[in-house]
Structure 1
Amino acid sequence: MDENHAFQYLESLIGQTLRLHATDTRIFVGTFKCTDSARNIILASTYEYRFPSPSAVRDAPTDAENQDAGIAAESPNVKVNMTSRFIGLVVVPGHHITKIELEETPQQSRVREVLKKS
């Protein structure tokens, strides 16, 4: 992709919802506002997601047994939810970003495919 196409694609992402994965395993989901030459990214209306702590994972089977007596024994799999919090406007340093994903609705995906073809 040449520089002009890369710039146009980046510009088309402004206002879209991005999912940024950080080196410390946190995930930020928010509206893409801007970036700079150091690859820092500013997101608005952002939620931060964290994987459960090791102690929460360790205690999950016991908690499941207490809530659903007998059911946990039938299934060896226990789900533990990620924690989340609203953080609003955030700057994610470029050197901490490991992956960037575009979150789009099925309708947005179809429109993007049509635009690619033209």
Structure 2
Amino acid sequence: MENHPSYPELSSLISEYPKHAGALFQTYNDLLLAQQWRDVEVQDLGAPHLRGYILGRRPVTATDADALLYVVPCSVTESISVDWLAGVFEKLATEEIYLAINTDDSSVVYYQISDGIVKPFI
């Protein structure tokens, strides 16, 4: 991991939160290199969540390319509670996040989660 070109950008959060280093590293590289997001930044979510999160914008070809999106990397083995998610929404002061669920085989699945009750799209 230390030899990867993206490591310098992630190194402070990887050393701060080693338990979540793999999920952060995999999600960051997926968004930046595979998904080709723009304006990608890594931030510290801080206590009590103890992990980094990623801000960025989708590629210019996407319909919502100008929207600033929040991505919170997690492992498939973690237990995420409603209270934990509520704390993330409060900390980030946003109504929508993407939970990036990482698996052992380096797959990443993104779940769009909205704060509160949201009317379904029909």
- Do the two structures share a fold, i.e. TM-score over 0.5? no
Query: Which structure's CA Rg is the greater one?
Result: 1
Task: Report which of the two has the higher share of helix.
Answer: 1
TM-score tier (shorter): under 0.3
Relative contact order, CA 8 A, sep 6+: which one is greater? 1
